[in-house]
Amino acid sequence: MNGKYNKYEIDYYREPFSKFIFANMILKYKNSNIHYTIEGEGEVVILLHGFLENVEMWNNLVPILSKNHLVISIDLLGHGKTECIGYLHTMEAMADAVFAVIKHLNVEKAHVVGHSMGGYAALALAEKQPQLFKGLCLMNSTFEADDEERKALRTRANKMAQNNLDAIIRMSFANLFAPASKQKFSTAYNTALKLALQTSLQGYIAAQEGMKLRPDRFEIYNKLNCNRLIIIGKKDSVIDGERLKSLIKDSNIPYKVLSEGHMSHIENISELAYILNHFIEN
């Protein structure tokens, strides 16, 4: 199927597809809208963004990946143009919403890349639909559950958000970047922050509550019968890369370490694009 589609033009297409120049789509789901984009042709790659992000975080990667693959980017519940379905978005609920898009498009196999919270949602999807996966890359993400300290931080942030959402989003977002990266990539930082500030109070709280409840999914990831990869940011202040490496040392889960922090799609874009292309093609 060829052609260029206007914003929200298509929410009905269910036949097998071969090529999209670009399509911006909405799927009706549980009386809400799920927003997603499609671009390229070839094997399917599904991109899932992190907390306080949306499909636009992939803007620099999609043109690269879509040269040889059909790339589907999905706004998770309460983020971007995807609406909320409650005040608790568990990772299982996010996975169900993602799978609704996948089923709608008749996708049977896909490579999935999940950034941070997107990785948590991808693991929940892997537990529910393991047959879907040709590959699962946890990008600046982890299979571990929140520890008690992280859960307490999320609870405190949700209380603060009810009084000053703008301030808590700015605080939460600043912690995603290595300190030097805020200056080095100031334009990209400010653009991403502007998008983060569009997150609604409900979306913010629902995602935080959902992340608090997620279980450890090491065994799910370890036993998943597909290509796997963990991308670690050396200066990541959110994901403890050294701990991750120690947890997988006796497994056959491969990893790559990039030089900067949590936002590899901004801080290490060239290396990340090369790694992801290699991951998908293998």
pLDDT tens, residue by residue, 22-57: 788 999 999 999 999 999 989 999 999 999 999 999
Q: Phi and psi (nearest 5°) for 7?
A: -55, 125
Q: Is the confidence at residue 87, as pLDDT, over 60?
A: yes
Confidence bin at 13 (pLDDT 50/70/90): very low
Which of 10-14, 175-179, 259-263: highest mean pLDDT?
A: 259-263
d(CA 186, CA 192): 10
d(CA 124, CA 247): 19
Share of the chain above pLDDT 90, in %: 86
Share of the chain above pLDDT 70, in %: 92
Model pLDDT, residue 19: 54
Q: Over the range 260-282, which residues count as b (16 or more CB within 10 Å of their CB) and which as e?
A: bbbbbbbbbbeebbebbbebbee
Q: Strand, coil or helix: what is 20?
A: strand
Tallying the residues shown for the chain, one arrives at 282
Model pLDDT, residue 192: 93
DSSP letter for 262, please: S
Non-local (6+) Cβ contacts of 98 within 8 A are: 46, 48, 74, 76, 121, 122, 125
Q: Please report how many Cα atoms fall inside a 13 Å half-sphere around the Cα of residue 83, on the Cβ side.
A: 9
Q: Is the confidence at residue 242, as pLDDT, over 70?
A: yes
Model pLDDT, residue 20: 56
The runs of H, that is alpha helices, within 3-81 are: 62-65
CATH of domain 19-281: 3.40.50.1820
The runs of H, that is alpha helices, within 30-141 are: 62-65, 91-104, 117-128
Coarse DSSP helix, strand, coil percentages of the chain, rounded to the nearest 5 percent: 45, 20, 35
Q: Is the confidence at residue 258, as pLDDT, over 60?
A: yes
Question: Domains of the chain: which residue ranges?
Answer: 19-281
User: Is the backbone of residue 140 left (phi > 0), alpha (psi -120 to 50) or beta?
Assistant: left
Token pair of 203 as six digits = 């979306």
